[in-house]
Amino acid sequence: MNNQLVVISGGTASNSLVNLFQSLSPNITYILPISDNGGSTSEILRVLGGPAIGDLRSRITRLIPDEGFKNLLSYRLSEDGDEAKLEWTSIVEGQHEIWNGLEIQCKEMVRSFLIHVHMELLKKSRNPSTNFKYEMASIGNLLLTGIRLFVGSLDSAIELILRMTRISPNIKILPCLNTNYTYHISAKLHNGDIITGQSQISHPNEPISTILSSSTSIHKIYDPVIIHEDIPYQHPDLNISQLHFSKNENQPLKSPIDKIFYINPYGEEIHPQANSRTIHSIHDSQTLIYSVGSLMTSTIPVIILKGIGMAIKKSSANKILLLNGDYDRETFRLSALNFIETLCGAVKYSIDDDRVLLTYDEVVTHLIYMEDSEIPVDVEKISYLGIKCISVPKDKKLNENINVYDLSSLQNSLKTLIH
């Protein structure tokens, strides 16, 4: 029986490891969050609503074998608003050069969904506050949104685009929530501050010094729009445009994150039920990998969902934490043990039952870490918890300040853990 490999990750950091994961097993399930409200996704959420699909589109694009489809889904419109709108019109009309790489029958199939989302955007343009900003818009995001609006299901939209782009049927890409609604997360910091919105937590569009708390950030970086009565209420921090943000913003948060949680439009904590397919895939897996990337805003938003924690606890799979080589602004000064404790805390939150006892090795069985990593690893303490520690050298062909795993060594280490 082929190993069932499940990878929990965000969309960007783990893309560089996709080929490695494919070499470990032909049967792979990628579980991704739907709470990223930054970049061009923020415009789709603002105007059309629905789940954030940027991470899903990013992973789909990375897996596409056909260059024509890959180029189309990864294409972004101009940074200039007027030029972007003209470019979008050219694409919808089928005249843009981006279509040159697709067969005519594929082109017209894709165009039908882009025309569908175009019509939805035109309807929204009657209200000045929901006039779509086309600059830097991702064609892949708009296509996936158009398919979701047409078929009425995020899960079904992903399945359709996987088949359309000829990705192997052994590969599954699952949203952690199968929904047509928008879900946002907040972070409660140790000092009591609350930051609302994934992009605001990880990649704010202003230096972190301007984002002090939920109550003060509204007035400092709120981009005012005309408010109409027919627009549903949304927490003011979520009305702040995240179209222009920087992934290079790495200034540590003012205080460590104590808790990540989902919120409703009023900012109140909610505890959604996970997509049933994600729960079953974790339960049936032989190997589960918590991949590199943003621990707090990519991995934790998946694990805290109802049903995920119990599936992890009950799974007999090897559960491998692939530790980052560098800090990010969300995890500054955390040790490897703190990463493990955070994962265990998320599983406990998901289960939400004090009667259920949980051990560390029910969440993480193996820790793979980089030699000379920026993140400290106390092998003795972690081993005492029943977790096996495996060191992997970093890629020495790169600049010594760049902490990236040596892929060949990482592949060999992971192969020994595959059931």
Tens digit of each residue's pLDDT (9 = 90 or more) over 382-418: 999 999 999 999 988 887 777 899 999 999 999 999 8
pLDDT of residue 23 exceeding 50 = yes
Query: What is the CA angle 172-175-178, rounded to 5?
Result: 115
d(CA 159, CA 304) in angstroms, rounded, equals 25
Residue with tokens 């296509």: 143
pLDDT tens across 62-94, in order?
Answer: 999 999 999 999 999 999 999 999 999 999 999
Nearest one of 28, 29, 4, 18 to 411, comparing CA atoms: 18
DSSP class of residue 404 equals: -
More confident residue, 23 or 236: 23
Nearest one of 70, 74, 65, 61 to 15, comparing CA atoms: 61
pLDDT of residue 248 exceeding 60 = no
Query: What is the CA angle 181-163-19, rounded to 5?
Result: 95
pLDDT tens across 300-311, in order?
Answer: 999 999 999 999
pLDDT of residue 129 exceeding 70 = yes
Which pLDDT band holds residue 215 (cuts at 50, 70, 90)? very low
The answer to which of 145-154, 285-294, 324-333 has the lowest mean pLDDT is 324-333
pLDDT for 237 equals 67
The answer to which of 138-152, 212-226, 345-359 has the lowest mean pLDDT is 212-226
pLDDT for 390 equals 97
Average pLDDT over every residue of 366-376: 94
More confident residue, 329 or 215: 329
pLDDT of residue 156 exceeding 90 = yes
More confident residue, 248 or 322: 322
pLDDT of residue 154 exceeding 60 = yes
User: What string of DSSP letters covers 83-141?
Assistant: HHHHHHHHHHTT-SGGGGGS-HHHHHHHHHHHHHHHHHHHHHTTSGGG----TT-BHHH
pLDDT for 396 equals 83
Residue with tokens 């599936």: 311
Strand, helix or coil for residue 366: strand
Mean pLDDT of the chain: 89
Pairing of strands 184-189, 194-196: antiparallel
Contact 162/30 with Cβ under 8 angstroms? no
d(CA 17, CA 37) in angstroms, rounded, equals 24
Average pLDDT over every residue of 163-181: 96
pLDDT of residue 233 exceeding 90 = no
With a CB cutoff of 8 Å and minimum separation 6, the contacts of 251 are: 207, 208, 209, 329
pLDDT tens across 309-356, in order?
Answer: 999 999 999 999 999 999 999 999 999 999 999 999 999 999 999 999
pLDDT for 378 equals 97
Which pLDDT band holds residue 209 (cuts at 50, 70, 90)? very low
